[in-house]
Structure 1
Amino acid sequence: MWLDELIGEFDRGLRSLTGVSRMGRPLPVPHESAAMAEAPELSPAERAHAAGLMRVNHVGEVCAQALYQAQKLTTRSPVLRAMFEHAAAEEEDHLAWTAKRLEALDSRPSLLNPLWYAGALAVGLAAGRMGDRVSLGFMAETERQVELHLDSHLEKLPAADHESRAIVEQMRIDEAQHGRAAMDAGGVELPFPARALMRAMSKVMTRMAYYL
């Protein structure tokens, strides 16, 4: 049984890195008012900027797959394992959505995705080994920082890019729910140094992923 689970997680990891993630929910579409508005076509500079932001979001979802895989493998609680699996499935939707949007923008995922995945997997395993409450607290803080990050992207995306905006808005809703679920399940507030280190690491990753 454990071996079957490990094989399943290995398969999910390969899908995350090769861009063949399954989409359980349809691609979010712009609100009717935005879809009906006659927005100007994105300029080359706007397309490049939107692609950079969506590449960063795609990297975040690659990391999310690794984190939830590690946390599922380290917890002994069937309830928490199910919660991590549910969150990972929604994050896999995000992964597929951002990949589709990158393709539509004539761009590509980060060239460093294997590095991001391996690093996130190691961090997730470390958090899981500290116990379920710390692992849940790490999940909650991660989602809190991702939610703030998505808020900033909603401000930075070109006004005419309704398609990217619709994706980011739904991702933001999902991330907030994941964070609340982690705290409700018994997550603890991480100490300030840990939160600050997570923010610093996130800044390095986002700056590199925007271009690479």
Structure 2
Amino acid sequence: MNTRTLSLLDGWLVEAQRGLDTVFGNPPAHRANPAGDTPDVALEPDEQRHAAGLMRINHVGEVCAQGLYFGQAAVARDGATRAHLLDAAQEETDHLAWCADRLRELDSRPSLFNPLWYAGSYALGALAGLRGDGWSLGFVVETERQVEAHLDEHLETLPPADLRSREILTVMKADEARHADHAQQAGARTLPAPIPTLMAGASKLMKAVAYRL
């Protein structure tokens, strides 16, 4: 079967649709929610607000991950690198859906700034990709390692009774570690200073805003 070659306009439309689906849509997960049949225990009001704030941060992180991966894939020079990025993006879509589900269960909502988070992440991903596939994969490694660290923090500070959020974050953490390992094996280059420090600073700002808004 012949397939049509996408024009430049087609490519822009595909990227725009991905952004709209991520920010305003409700993309379905391809895997079952890890929380499964885990009981949804009633939390104290303060605990529920805290759990919702943490899950909103994680939802924002997945919006950013989509932007980064799609931005990087759009300019990837090697087909294998592009496939690696899009495969990882699919798993991040699962995370996005799981976090959205949990926010609804906690009677909360995603961040009001999701369009901004996505646009900024997409631009960063494209810039990293334009430096070359090795640098792009290095960006993946550093991003995922930092995400692992903040997921560890969230697992420590979640209300003990919030087992559903804990199940979701545990699987997410394992996925992020695997993404970083695969990117390393695919030829990632180590990012020079001060890029990791700047990335950590930007992440800290995002988390402070997303926790409340």
Q: Displacement, 1:5?
A: 4.6
Aligned-pair Cα RMSD in Å: 1.5
Structure 2 residue 139 is matched with structure 1 residue 138: yes
Q: Displacement, 1:40?
A: 5.8
2:25 & 2:50 partners in 1: Cα distance? Answer: 21
Aligned-partner residue type, residue 72 of structure 1: A
1:2 & 1:184 partners in 2: Cα distance? Answer: 30
Q: Could you report, residue by residue, the CA deviation over 1:11-54 in whole angstroms, capped at 9, with x for unpaired residues?
A: 22111111411211111126x8xx47xx9621011010000000
| Alignment of structure 1 residues 13-162 onto 2, 5 Å | 13-29=19-35, 35=38, 41-162=42-163
Aligned-partner residue type, residue 57 of structure 2: V
Percent of aligned pairs with the same amino acid: 52
Q: Displacement, 1:2?
A: 3.5
> Residue 65 of structure 1 contacts residue 88 of structure 1 at CA under 8 Å; is this kept in 2?
yes
1:19 & 1:8 partners in 2: Cα distance? Answer: 15
Aligned-partner residue type, residue 202 of structure 2: M
User: Bigger CA drift: 74-83 or 159-168?
Assistant: 74-83
Aligned-partner residue type, residue 51 of structure 1: A
1:131 & 1:90 partners in 2: Cα distance? Answer: 23
2:18 & 2:170 partners in 1: Cα distance? Answer: 25
- Count of aligned pairs: 207
TM-score by length of 1: 0.93
Where has structure 1 moved over 4 Å in runs of 4 or more?
A: none
Q: 2:14 aligns with which of 8, 11, 33?
A: 8
TM-score by length of 2: 0.93
Distance 1:197 1:10, change over 3 A: same
Give the unaligned 5+ runs of structure 1.
none
